[in-house]
Structure 1
Amino acid sequence: MTQKTTTFLMFQNGHAEEAMTFYVSLFGDAKVVHAERYAPGEPGPEGRIKHATFTLAGQEYMCMDSNQPHAFTFTPSISIYVACDTEEEIDRLYAALAEGGGQLMPLGSYGFSTKFGWVNDRFGVSWQLNLP
């Protein structure tokens, strides 16, 4: 078997399905591949995401709703980097991802690309958007 790495997003407070659905809605080549939910009597809230897999632009991601509270959450030191093809695409993604979240670097020219922006979305996941 060939080794493979996959980004894994652990959500608290039952946000895995909402986040996954939101992310899939933003990309043309995106889909939910598999979603397994906590069943009655399992150690997580019934109906929440026990384990799910989805793809964005051909890249696979995994996510879950944690059934345990944690003293940590997402941090911008790890982010999802998106190379955009058009200015319209970067503007659309930036606006959608920044809504309810926060700007780390507003869209602009920083000398290393035509247009770049960095945001935390409303779930706390960090996204770097670049128009080369």
Structure 2
Amino acid sequence: MPVQIATFLMFEGKAEEAMTLYVSVFAGSQVISVEKYGPGEPGAEGSIKVAEFALAGHRMKCIDSPMKHGFTFTPSVSLFVDCADEAEFDRAFATLGEGGGVLMPPGNYGFSRKFAWISDRYGVSWQLNVP
């Protein structure tokens, strides 16, 4: 089997909700597989043991950690999205930004026509770009 690389996101009880939101934002995205915790397993029953999904062809995995941890997502790692056009950019900005925070508001920063950097309601950072 050849080497495969995927972005891996660890949540505490919000993995399925986040994955569903992300797949709804970008065309050509899909949930590939979902495995949930059952009775007597270490995670909360029905939460995500491991799920795989693709965002516009980019392979992703997520879990609901069965253990509490002292860290969360940070903007030092983000998902960079080259949007097809301004309509896709605006839709992604509105959907992903709802309940999150704006690190750089939409604008022309000289390196692209339209760019924004946001953190979604789960703490995942997104750089949105119209090249």
Is TM-score (shorter-chain normalized) higher than 0.5?
A: yes
Give me the whole-angstrom Cα distance separating, in 2, the residues matched to 1:131 and 1:56: 17
Aligned equivalents of 1:131 and 1:80: distance in 2? 14
Q: TM-score, normalised by structure 2?
A: 0.98
Runs of 4+ aligned structure 1 residues displaced above 3 Å come to none
- Report deviation, 1:27: 1.2
Check conservation: 2:14, 2:64, Cα contact below 8 A.
yes
Q: Do the aligned partners of 2:5 and 2:59 also contact (CA within 8 Å) in 1?
A: no
| Residue ranges of structure 2 left out of the alignment (5+ in a row) | none
Q: Distance in 2 between matches of 1:127 and 1:66?
A: 22
Identity of aligned residues (%): 60
2:66 alignment partner AA: N
Cα deviations across residues 52-72 of structure 1 (Å, max 9, x unaligned)?
000110111000000000000
- In structure 2, the partner of 1:10 is 10
> Cα distance, 1:42 vs. partner?
0.3
- Supply the AA of the counterpart residue of 2:4: K
Q: Which runs of 5+ in 1 are unaligned?
A: none
Counterpart code for 1:124: G
- Whether 1:56 aligns to 2:55 is yes
Aligned position for 2:32: 33
Counting only pairs closer than 5 Å after superposition, residues 1-132 of structure 1 correspond to structure 2 as 1-12=1-12, 14-132=13-131
RMSD: 0.6
Aligned-residue offset at 1:8: 0.3
Partner Cα separation in structure 1 for residue 52 and residue 92 of structure 2: 21
Cα deviation, residue 3, structure 1: 1.1
- Number of aligned positions between the proteins: 131
